[in-house]
Amino acid sequence: MYDIQYTEIMNILIVGDINGKAGRRAVKELLPTVKKKYDIDFCVANAENAAGGFGLTSEISSKIFSYGVDVITMGNHTWDNKDLEGHIKSELRIIRPLNYPPGNPGCGSIILDIKNTKIAVINLTGRVFMGNFDCPFRTVEEELKRFKKDNPIVIVDFHAEATSEKIALGWFLDGKASAVIGTHTHVQTSDDRVLPGGTAYITDVGMTGAHDSVIGIKKELAIKKFLTQMPVKFEVASGDVRLNALFVQINIKDNKAEKIIRIQEKLAPVTN
């Protein structure tokens, strides 16, 4: 007779914005160790800056999946590389913001079956300081209605600038989503918590890339831009590379978060 063990928790890892070559290297070298340490069942990563700091390509997305990421989310740099427009139609594990206007290629959400448990990932973009998009609040509310019959764990990547907009969506989805994770600003915030309704929340999970930078860009170039207001070609920084992520433990009986832990792992420097 076999002793079959049934788990009642799902361990999920959300990796912050992968920025350029440095960020990809951090994922490649650090992700396996982090997944093992936290016994991760499912991994989501934002990769809208993975190709040279701006956008994503089909080739780079394939590499990121091979490193152990299950779903890639995007943001305001989704269409920076023309290559992705065709690729995103067939590679459904790459999702772009759901509240983009009608006519955009790809999908804004996905449901996967992981260890006999359904997990939905929804990607949204904010509107404050971001652009003219459909309302993320009403859009996600309608999507949750569509998912109701499957009753999945729901992970929301809210790619937004304004802290207030992110916090408001967290409260709006408390008890409706398992986790609302902020991305885009590239700086990990310290407000991680489980809200009263059982939703794990953080305003920004941070950036996976060069910490010795201005949100991933070489600091001298960013400073020059601020000082002169002249056109400056931004370049992705290197050195002091870190992986920023969030660990969320979810009870699969009610899809509520039970634990949330901020993660910041430093990559060992390259030596000759």
Per-residue pLDDT tens for 35-83? Answer: 999 999 999 999 999 999 999 999 999 999 999 999 999 999 999 999 9
Catalytic residue among 77, 159, 184, 211: 77
pTM greater than the 0.85 cutoff:
yes
* Residue 77 appears among annotated catalytic residues: yes
Q: How far from 34 is each of 2, 9, 60, 141, 267, CA to CA, in Å?
A: 31, 18, 21, 33, 12
pLDDT of residue 4: 40
Q: Which DSSP helix (H) or strand (E) runs through 209? A: strand 207-210
Rounded CA separation 17/39 (Å): 22
113 forms beta bridges with: 118
User: Which regions of the chain are under pLDDT 70?
Assistant: 1-7, 270-272
95: Cα separation from own chain's centroid: 10
- Are 159 and 126 spatial neighbours (Cβ–Cβ below 8 Å)? yes
